[in-house]
Amino acid sequence: MDKRQLTTALAKYFVNPMTTRVAGFVPWWALLETTGRKTGLPRRNPVANGLDGDTFWIIAEHGRKANYVRNIQANPRVRVRVGRRWRSGTAQLVPGDDPRARQRQLSQWFNSAVLSVVGTDLLTIRIDLDQTPRAGATLGPRTEHITGVSAMTGKERLEAYLRENGVPFEMHHHPEAFTAQEVAAAEHIPGRILGKVVAVKAGGDIAMAVIPAPAHVDLDKAAAAVGSGDVSIASEDEFGPIFSDCDTGAMPPFGNGTLYDVPVFVDTTLAQQETVAFDAGTHRDTVHLRYADFERLVKPNAVDLTD
């Protein structure tokens, strides 16, 4: 086993699983999400925090032999999480760049020390991050096309995530409906099992309150749940950019670092249901699954949220 094979095995089975849990929360780590070139599933790797304005730099320790680099070559559309924020962008390999000089420019002392030990064929990768949508912009399903490559929609990412985690689910298609009660009627299901996602703003941060379709959020109870005295219903301009891969208001409640990095609170009455349904990123599709599976993946806080 050569140096590259040894370090790849160590990273795959020991280092990456541990650092992925903290990447995005520790200042010198970030999280890179690519699309698997064979499976089409989201693939995440911890990387050094190379954020520089609207550009993100990565130094690949094994060059073009790294799996995430191969994924980028097949589909350059990626996402990066720095802190609590995910940003999308387009990646490109920069073989003419000096990786060591780039690290010095970015002051990546920790990563530089690691790469001096494990690196075999350093390669610079540049990610041009998308601009944050301006306030008032119309936000719909994510169907960007960059150099002929289509980014995954929220629905596609949700399906891929559930399959990757071995969760049985059903996707239902229905006539276009915009309110939760309309969706329940179109699906011919009781409103109590349809989870309505209400984006709330608490102290400047966005959270998801998930309640049964017929119910309404009690802001006082929501404030107690999130531990903030200032809670209000978020506007589309405030929550839209976070869920830009979904139809406006049709985001599934897969936060807490699963698909979206926002906290999730579920009303206790919905948590008592054996099977639940949610919007699947569009106004025409819902996902149905066991609540136990949803709880296992998302780990929401179950609290009293309704009036």
Instruction: Assess whether pLDDT exceeds 60 at residue 109.
Output: no
Same domain, 93 and 181: no
Last residue of a domain, one of 61, 96, 131: 131
Q: What is the CA radius of gyration of the chain?
A: 21
- The tokens describing 230, both together, are 């200032």
Nearest to residue 167, comparing CAs of 280, 278, 282, 292? 292
Six-digit token string for 97: 């760049």
Domain that holds residue 107: 3-131
- Could you give the number of structural domains in the chain? 2
Tokens of 307: 């009036």
* pLDDT for residue 140: 35
Q: Which pLDDT belongs to residue 192?
A: 96
CA-CA distance, 243 to 248, in Å (whole number)? 8
Residue for token digits 């929360």?
25
d(CA 216, CA 212): 8
Answer yes or no: are the C-beta atoms of 157 and 98 closer than 8 Å. no
226-281 pLDDT, tens digit each: 888 789 999 999 999 899 899 999 999 999 989 998 999 999 999 999 999 999 99
The pLDDT value recorded for residue 25 is 57
Whether the model pTM is above 0.85: no
- Say how far apart CA 79 and CA 30 lie, in whole Å: 11
> What pLDDT does 188 receive?
95
Please report, for residues 66, 112, 266, 271, 283, the alpha-carbon distance to residue 69 in angstroms, rounded to integers and kept in the order given.
5, 19, 38, 41, 35
Q: How confident is residue 4, by pLDDT bands cut at 50, 70 and 90?
A: very low
Looking at this protein, which amino acid is placed at residue 74? A
Average pLDDT of the segment spanning 193-210: 94
Q: Which residue from 290, 260, 252, 268 is spatially nearest to 215, judged by alpha carbons? A: 268
| Residue that finishes a domain, picked among 99, 131, 163 | 131
> Could you give the count of Cα atoms lying within 13 Å of 80 in the half-sphere of its Cβ?
26
Name the one residue in this structure whose structure tokens are 């690691």: 114
Q: pLDDT digits over 65-86, tens only?
A: 899 999 999 999 998 988 877 8
Residues β-bridged to residue 196 = 211
Count CB atoms within 10 A of the CB of residue 241. 17
Tell me, yes or no, whether 262 lies in a domain: yes
Indicate whether 90 and 35 sit together in one domain.
yes
The average confidence (pLDDT) of the chain is 83
Q: What is the pLDDT of residue 136?
A: 33
> What local confidence, expressed as pLDDT, does residue 150 receive?
46
Does some domain include residue 49?
Answer: yes
User: Does the residue 147 lie in any domain?
Assistant: no
Residue 176 contacts residue 284 (beta carbons within 8 Å): yes
Calpha distance 144→158 (Å, rounded): 18
- Domain assignment present for 238: yes
- Closest by CA to 63, choosing from 7, 145, 129, 22, is 7
Residues 169 and 295 in one domain: yes
Other C-beta atoms closer than 10 Å to the C-beta of 231 total: 23
Q: Is residue 271 part of a domain?
A: yes
Give the DSSP H/E element, type plus range, for residue 303.
strand 301-303
Q: Looking at the structure, do residues 38 and 117 belong to the same domain, yes or no?
A: yes
Banded model confidence at residue 28, pLDDT cuts 50, 70, 90: confident
**Average pLDDT in the 190-199 region?**
97
Q: Which residue do the tokens 């009036």 mark?
A: 307
Is 229 found in the same domain as 268?
A: yes
